[in-house]
Chain A
Amino acid sequence: MSAERARTAKNVLVLAEAMSDAKTDTCYELLGGEEPSDIDLLRVVYHRTPERLLDEWADRRGTQPANTVIVGVDDRVQSGALGDTAADSDDTSLEVLTANPNDLTGLGMELNNALTALSRTDNHVYVCFDSVTALLQFVDTESAYKFLHMFTGQLHKVDATAHFHMDPDAHETQTISRLKTTFDDLRRVGD
């Protein structure tokens, strides 16, 4: 582990309004400034399609990461690789996995599988979890806490740089207080 990676490896809870530009700006800021070809990216997404994520990345960064795994927490998303996309070429790979939002165990295993796959490369792993607010629509706070605690622990192990989105307006203060203890850092953006 390089010194630089040790410094950047952490789990950040980002509190920002769900649809705001500030949220997206912070997201890309936390996804680091390294050359995309040197990083692996894991995105966990509840309400957006893989295509939109890829387009957004292309707009903001141009080149896709070396390896991208998108876990769509939504039964409507089809697993498997997307067809002809810029992200799945000779230089870059893309895998789309799906998980049922009501099945926390299944999601946990899918993320474990994704991290296992990405940890085979030497690239720095970036993770975006969008969002904790959506997670809480399907499971109670205590289950969410156990899940986030488990996941952030795993991210530490593989030396990943991760952030988790949460809309502060959608939750009671005590929910945020309970969950934030499992993260290394907390960023409030917007207002």
Chain B
Amino acid sequence: MTDAPDGQTDELSKVPSGSDVLDELLAGGLPENRTVLVSGGPGTGKTTLGMQFLQRGLEEGDSCLYISTEQTQDELRDTFSSFDFDLGHENLTLTTIHATTGYTLEDEEAELTLQSLEGGDSIGEGYSAPFESKYIQKYLRRFAPVDRVVLDSVSGLSAMGDDYDRYRRAILDLIRQFSDEFEATALFTAEESEPGADHGEATVAVSDSIQYNTHGVIRLWRENVEGDYHRFIEVMKMRGVDHDTRVFQTEFDSRGVRLIPRNRTHPGEFVPEDFMATGITGLDQLLGGGIVLGGTMLIEHDGQASPHSILTNLMRAAVDEGMAITLVPPVELPPKRLEAIIDRDVGDMDEMLANDQLFLIDYPNIWRNTRRNVFKPREHEGEGAASVFRTIDERRGDQPLFSAINVEAQIPVMDNDELKQVRFWEEENLMRAKDTSMYFFNPGTMTDELAEFYKNGAWQVLRTWINDKGLQYLKLKKSPAGFLGSTRLVEYTEDKPFMRVQRPPRANPGDGESL
């Protein structure tokens, strides 16, 4: 049995996990006939998730095996008493294996032997097998074949010895046994220490050593959020599956572990007609369709990653929509360069200015002032922001307006209060239903208060930055739709739209390049 190469997601049959939301994250469920590791600290829900997986199997008519290395059968019944789990189901077998001192057939001296937690000998009549991989396998063989197996937990097998390689090999043997001999889909749990850290970067001794052997890794942890502990889940790895990479919070209910929010990204009140596509497939998928028409988008950048490609693609899309454009150009782009980009990617700039399709507000006063619709609020006392916008509003006629505003360009001429007033004034006096705005800035160039003001007012917030490896990323930080919280890689290309954004996981791959 070999793994399908990445991308061939259709090759893998899926087994429902017992959590509908987790199934959605995993594009259908756990990969059939494979082993997935669930790691987490005490009380994070590993055992519950495991039993939930088996209970779902029972509903499907599967035969299920639960192997505990930590709790006796009575303790398990106690643990699960608050859940709607049927532990007495005829297709469910509970068994326990435990390393404890006992006698073997071969040796006179007592040694570490394989027994059940209830004290049952693995051979019988007071004799047990040494606690070794091959005897654990032989012992488990009596339960084969089953459809689903939970081994809770692999940490309990570490009594096998201090030898890291021997332990790792033993786990590998079990993975093979469950997939080849049992033909089962398996879920292993691993205890993970919580090193006091309140973030999901825990070091994992045991699960570290086997996460490379399992087909996938799901991590559970607890985190302190503003004084209260919350539980979280994340799919760390799932070979051959285009899984969701975001963190979800978890809660327990009578059916087991529940992932919330269930519909993290699809509130439903937005329909595709409410969006204007940016023309960048991956970005549109990330945003849930594009920029919200009639809304406000904010793009925060770090001074290194450029928002220009998104800007020009949106301007192009606006022109296609029959919208007029108001542009407060980014300060870092010299006029000639910007004009060349607009000519290439949006349309003939002179023509658009002349036809009242483009209005340019030149706060820093760096553009030549010989053209209609290039406004310089600083130079002429009479051209305050309000009067400029009023002129634009007269000239745009029936065209909806797309405004692209570089906030830094306004800062030298307006203080924070003025900037806020202008924005409110615009919304009050200027904006029509389809008018759409995009603000962009580097938050490092302004006060936190002002940055927060724009963030609050925005319907959609994107952040883009370049990391220490020189890669540009884009993250959707606020949005009524799309893949909120998803971080995607950005790549620039030779051809239109000159930018590619890594397709969000599970987004419909039908019409998109994926990088």
Contact = CB atoms under 8 A, between A and B. Distances in A.
Determine which residue in B104, B106, B123, B134 has the highest number of CB atoms from chain A within 10 A of its CB, and name it.
Answer: B123
B123 A109 contact: yes
Contacts of A151: 124
Given A143-B105, A147-B105, A108 B142 contact: no
Interface of A: 104-106, 108-110, 112-113, 116-117, 143, 146-147, 149-151, 153-154
Interface in B162-200: none
B81 to A, nearest CB: 29
Secondary structure class of chain A's binding surface, majority of residues: helix
Given A110-B138, A113-B141, A113-B142, A105 B104 contact: yes
B464 to A, nearest CB: 59
B123 A150 contact: yes
B146 to A, nearest CB: 14
Given A108-B124, A109-B135, A116-B142, 18 more contacts: A104-B106, A105-B105, A105-B130, A105-B135, A106-B134, A108-B129, A109-B123, A112-B122, A112-B123, A113-B138, A113-B141, A143-B105, A149-B125, A150-B126, A150-B127, A153-B125, A154-B124, A154-B125
A153 B121 CA distance: 13
B139 interface: yes
Contacts of B135: 105-106, 109
A108 B106 CA distance: 11
A149 B130 CA distance: 19
A105 B106 contact: yes
Contacts of B105: 104-105, 108, 143, 146-147, 150
18 contacts: A104-B105, A105-B129, A105-B135, A106-B129, A108-B105, A108-B123, A109-B135, A109-B138, A112-B123, A112-B124, A112-B142, A116-B142, A117-B142, A143-B105, A150-B124, A150-B126, A153-B125, A154-B125
Determine which residue in B106, B135, B138 has the highest number of CB atoms from chain A within 10 A of its CB, and name it.
Answer: B138
A177 B130 CA distance: 29
Contacts of B124: 108, 112, 150-151, 153-154
B125 A106 contact: no
A106 B106 contact: no
A146 B121 CA distance: 14
Nearest to A153: B125
B111 to A, nearest CB: 11
Interface in B98-124: 104-106, 122-124
Contacts of A113: 138, 141-142
A106 B104 CA distance: 11
A109 B138 CA distance: 7
Contacts of A147: 105
